[in-house]
Amino acid sequence: MGMTMTQKILAKAAGKASVRAGELIMADLDLVLGNDITSPVAINEFPKFGKETVFDREKIALVPDHFTPNKDIKAAEQVKAMRTFAGDHGIVNYFEVGQMGIEHALLPEKGLVGAGEVVIGADSHTCTYGALGSFATGVGSTDMASGMATGKAWFKVPSALKFNLTGKLNRHVSGKDVILHIIGLIGVDGALYQSMEYSGEGVKNLSIDDRFTIANMAIEAGAKNGIFPVDEVTLDYLAEHCPRTPRIFEADEDAEYEAVYEIDLSAIKSTVAFPHLPSNTRPIDEVGEVKIDQVVIGSCTNGRISDLRQAAAVLKGKKVAPWVRALIFPATQKIWKQAMNEGLFEIFVDAGCAVSTPTCGPCLGGHMGILAEGEKAVSTTNRNFVGRMGHPKSEVYLASPAVAAASAVTGYITDPNTIEEA
């Protein structure tokens, strides 16, 4: 029996000719990632491994992005621990405020992730990098510490689900709608410890940003990773950002999949996930009347330049409803500057939005956008669990940037196709 794309990457990293689903392997790591919540725990564990220093000072990335700019003394102490550790061990890829961005947008932008590589991160949305044809997955802080010390990690080789994509997305429909549709189809445990592998002629019709979004939310279906084939879209992105030669792996024709799903991109509508699960989805024409208090556009899921352009296209020449707080979070400093130079900030501010420095703050209810009791938010983030963005009696509705922008204008969850663009 042949191997899936993920299995081939893991076999190579483990120095084996082949691997099979369920097999335990030790694999070499190309990158180890941590943020300001998870890294301090790993740093405390690191001395227990008996290593004088990290396995490779260029293959570790420390990104303070969750509670930054520091929201309180505890957050400041967490970042101080990272800064000190990075200085003591000569870690090259430590990104201070002013250089940092939301980790899962920043690392690809900086060329730290390439095709065919193996990446672990002490953050569940590390699976984002599967958009570039890498095996990337979230781990605990102890595993991060082990990775920093040894450059290796244990994995159980995942079985796989195949998603065969056909067709092309319609106007105002994006990668966010695709992954919400898929999670609604298979459930939050529908891919438990499996690889979500995308293929088919429809893949070429997805932008790299669409792919980042889809891979980012693989964990919301319980998956070990999500992964896209390396095609011209991928190679164009890597040529611009990553200096390393891509390692290109393709699934064997006789690779084994637990299930195969046929997804017609042209049939997908704007999709909204209702509280309190990403799988509780409804197409936009079945949402009904839902009045909202806040809109958040940004995050590691939808804070890239194409996301901001989509939101700006809807918001241009309009005003945010007077009872709505609309918050914009570009994912990196580079994206922030690009959005500014393109005039998107003028559109946002004229519409009544607040534009922030890059941060994960509102996504996890950390800071800069906390919800009060009874409030409802439309957010382009990736989770809508109870209390995710604030009070346990608040509600989060997940949606695309276009839906979020349209909803900001009307004050109700709204189909962007009903908002006339200026």
Q: List, for residues 52-71, the tens digit of each pLDDT value.
A: 999 999 999 999 989 989 88
Residues 344, 399: one domain? yes
Estimate the crossing angle of helix 175-186 against helix 208-216, to 10 degrees: 30
Residue 420 confidence (pLDDT) above 80? no
Number of domains in the chain: 2
Amino acid at 281: T
Question: Would the pTM count as exceeding 0.85?
Answer: yes
CATH code where residue 40 lies = 3.30.499.10
Residues 389, 319: one domain? yes
What sign results for the dihedral spanned by CA atoms 198, 112, 29, 219? negative
Q: pLDDT at position 422, please?
A: 45
**pLDDT tens digits for 218-277?**
999 999 999 999 999 999 999 999 999 999 999 999 999 999 999 999 999 999 999 999
What is the chain's percent helix, strand, coil content, to nearest 5? 35, 20, 45
Return the beta strands (E) in 247-288 as ranges: 259-264, 271-273, 281-283
**Burial class of residue 70 (count of CB atoms within 10 Å of its CB; 0-12, 13-18, 19+):** middle
Tokens (6 digits) for 43: 């740093």
Distance CA 177, CA 210 (A): 9
In which domain, by residue range, is 401 found? 271-418
What angle (nearest 5°) sits at the alpha carbon of residue 371, between those of residues 213 and 398?
25
Residues 101, 166: one domain? yes
Q: pLDDT at position 421, please?
A: 52
**pLDDT tens digits for 285-313?**
999 999 999 999 999 999 999 999 999 99
Residues 44, 59: one domain? yes
365 or 210, greater pLDDT: 210
Residues 309, 279: one domain? yes
Residue 115 confidence (pLDDT) above 90? yes
* Cα atoms in the Cβ-side hemisphere of radius 13 Å centred on 223: 34
